[in-house]
Structure 1
Amino acid sequence: MTLTDNKPRLRWACRRGMLELDVLFMPFVEEAYDELSIENKAVFERLLVCQDPELFAWFMGHETCEDKELNAMVQLILQRVKV
C-alpha cells in the first residue's frame, strides 16, 4: 500500500522534524493533495522521502532541487500555501 491510498499515513509522513516544513506540508495535504493527478501524488510521495535539511533548503530558496519533478512539486506547494 502506498501513502496515496492511505490519507492518515500520508498525514503522518508529512509531520517533520522542522516546524517550517510542517507548516507547508500539512495545509497542502488537507487542501490540495486530493486534486493532484496520480502522477503528481507519486511525486509528492517521493518528496516526503527526502531529508528535512534538503527540503528546508529547497523550500526556503537556499538551493534548487536538481530533480525537475521534485522541483516542480516544491514550487506547486509554495504557490498553493501562499494563496
Structure 2
Amino acid sequence: MFTPKRLARLRWACRRGMLELDVLLLPFVNEAFEDLTYPQQETFERLLTCDDPDLYAWFMGHQKTDDPELAEMVDIIIRRVKV
C-alpha cells in the first residue's frame, strides 16, 4: 500500500529534468495512479528510477525497453495522455 509519505515521494520523483516528462508523469500520478493495481503502482515507481533520456526515448517511441512490465507502464501512460 502506498502511504501518504510514499505517495508524496512518488510525486516528487515525477518532477524530472525534462519538461516533456513532467507533462506526462505529474498529471498521470495525480489523475490515474490510484486506478492502477498495486503491482502496476510498484512498476510505475520503478519506472521513475530510470534515467530521463531512456524515459524520453520510450515515451517518444524512439526506443522500447526490454522490460515487459516497464513497456506496459509506458503504454498505459501514453494511452492515458491520448484520451
TM-score over 0.5 for the alignment? yes
What root-mean-square deviation, in Å, do the aligned CA atoms of Structure 1 and Structure 2 show? 1.2
Equivalent in the alignment of 2:41: 41
Equivalent in the alignment of 1:18: 18
- What code does the residue aligned with 1:47 have? L
For structure 2, the 5+ residue unaligned runs are: none
User: Runs ≥4 in structure 1, deviation > 4 angstroms?
Assistant: none
Equivalent in the alignment of 1:58: 58
Q: TM-score, normalised by structure 2?
A: 0.92
- What code does the residue aligned with 2:13 have? A
Distance 1:59 1:17 in 2: 15
Deviation at 1:66, TM superposition (A): 0.6
Distance 1:7 1:41 in 2: 10
- What code does the residue aligned with 1:37 have? T
Matched residue pairs, number? 81
Deviation at 1:82, TM superposition (A): 1.4
Distance 1:25 1:13 in 2: 9
Alignment partner of 1:49: what SS? coil
Give the % identical residues: 58
